């Protein structure tokens, strides 16, 4: 009887579990499975117990620091800002802004006389860049003019892009107004085009001479023209340089002109470029200096007349007594040396003026550094 009761209890329990599994349990399992499937689609498992999310293109550009356009030289962010952090900021040389603002005004007048056309010159920006990075970023074809700063004993670059080259050639050779210059790509520049660009570069160099004249006289001399950036290497690839970008517009025509000055070229006038304004003296007060000089001229100083000097043992000096006489090796016609603070100043002859002993100056001593 006991075995039969146990069998019945086991069958009842199994039937109850089966009913529970067929009832609410099926719905719960379906809900849990659907939830797990949704979570797996949102955050796929990497196999290492961690979840990853795929970045879109905007997030990748922000991480790398390419949010700004190629022509925008505003503050960089991301990895690009870290790479460029080693460069020296041109804002540490504030006088450059004044110099190149003057250059823009002078070039506007000079190029109008050069082309006999309505020319507008504008300064886009002044930035710092590595020399090697700039050479790799020059859009070809272009003409690179190497010039030499004679007084600074170093070199610089003037890069004229293709648009400006064809515009200058078109204007100087009598092209019609209102028509875009014809571009013939895939060929080297002709001798006529190179000569006309060389004339343009010489005009720019003359204006640069005048722009730097108030700060430091310098002569920028044209050296050579290159069309291959590798042949225009004037500094190491990792060296920092100042890049000045200008826009030259001649009605519907125009292009870009860029001036590159390595920091090594500007080193001789670095102290002048650090000035915030022309004539700054870095803490010097001319009013105080003039007042001090005036007071020094009216200062009373003590002059000593040295009749004779002798070397004596310390034993004899310690044994001197009141009333003892010291013999000086000086007669009435001997030369007397006058000293100020132990420094020889003048020599003269001893004599008498009324009731006073006097010395008549006969020679000024030039070696004032002797003590």
- State percent of the chain over pLDDT 90: 1
The DSSP annotation for 63-123 comes to HHT--S-TT--S---HHHHHHGGGSPPGGG-THHHHHHHHHHHHHHHHHHHHHTS-EEEEE
CA-closest candidate to residue 183, choices 114, 201, 175: 175
Rounded to the nearest integer, the mean pLDDT of the chain is 76
pLDDT in tens, 158-186: 988 888 888 888 888 876 665 555 555 66
CA 308 to chain centre: 62
Residue 368 pLDDT level (bands cut at 50, 70, 90): very low
Residue with tokens 């660009």: 197
pLDDT of residue 67: 58
Planar angle of CA 146, 209, 268, nearest 5 degrees = 75
pLDDT in tens, 182-238: 555 667 788 888 888 889 899 999 988 888 888 888 888 988 888 888 888 888 888
Residue 15 pLDDT level (bands cut at 50, 70, 90): low
Cβ count near 280 (within 10 Å): 13
CA-closest candidate to residue 167, choices 183, 145, 185, 146: 183
pLDDT of residue 86: 53
Residue 252 pLDDT level (bands cut at 50, 70, 90): confident
Residue 359 pLDDT level (bands cut at 50, 70, 90): confident
Which residue did the predictor score with more confidence, 223 or 4?
Answer: 223
**Contact in structure between 122 and 104 (CB atoms under 8 Å):** yes
- What residue ranges define each of the domains in the chain, with the CATH number in brackets? 90-273 (3.40.1550.10), 300-364 (2.30.330.10)
């Amino acid at each position: 009887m006991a075995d039969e009761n146990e069998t019945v209890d086991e069958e009842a329990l199994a039937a109850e579990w089966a009913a529970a599994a067929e009832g609410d349990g099926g719905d719960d399992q379906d809900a849990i499975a659907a939830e797990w499937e949704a979570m797996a689609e949102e955050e796929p498992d990497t196999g290492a117990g961690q979840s990853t999310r795929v970045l879109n293109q905007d997030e990748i550009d922000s991480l790398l620091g390419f949010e700004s356009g190629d022509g925008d030289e505003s503050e960089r962010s991301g990895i690009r800002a870290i790479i460029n952090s080693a460069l020296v900021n041109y804002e540490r040389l504030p006088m450059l802004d004044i110099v190149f603002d003057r250059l823009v005004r002078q070039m506007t007048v000079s190029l109008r006389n050069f082309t006999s056309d309505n020319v507008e010159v504008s300064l886009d920006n002044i930035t710092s860049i590595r020399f090697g990075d700039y050479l790799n970023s020059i859009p070809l074809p272009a003409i690179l003019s190497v010039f030499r700063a004679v007084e600074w004993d170093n070199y610089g670059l003037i890069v004229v892009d293709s648009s400006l080259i064809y515009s200058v050639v078109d204007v100087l050779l009598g092209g019609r107004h209102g028509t875009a210059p014809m571009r013939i790509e895939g060929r080297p520049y002709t001798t006529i085009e190179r000569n006309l660009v060389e004339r343009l570069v010489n005009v720019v160099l003359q204006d640069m001479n005048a722009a730097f004249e108030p700060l430091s006289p310098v002569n920028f001399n044209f050296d050579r023209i290159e069309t291959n950036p590798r042949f225009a290497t004037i500094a190491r690839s990792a060296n920092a340089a100042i890049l000045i970008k200008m826009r030259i517009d001649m009605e519907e025509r125009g292009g870009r002109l860029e001036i590159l000055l390595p920091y090594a070229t500007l080193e001789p006038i670095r102290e002048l470029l650090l000035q915030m304004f022309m004539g700054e003296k870095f803490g010097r007060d001319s009013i105080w200096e003039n007042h001090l000089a005036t007071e020094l001229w009216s200062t009373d100083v003590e002059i000593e007349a040295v009749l004779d000097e002798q070397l004596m043992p310390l034993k004899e000096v310690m044994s001197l007594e009141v009333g003892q006489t010291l013999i000086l090796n000086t007669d009435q016609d001997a030369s007397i040396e006058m000293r100020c603070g132990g420094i020889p100043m003048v020599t003269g002859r001893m004599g008498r003026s009324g009731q006073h002993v006097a010395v008549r100056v006969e020679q000024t001593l030039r070696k004032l550094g002797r003590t």
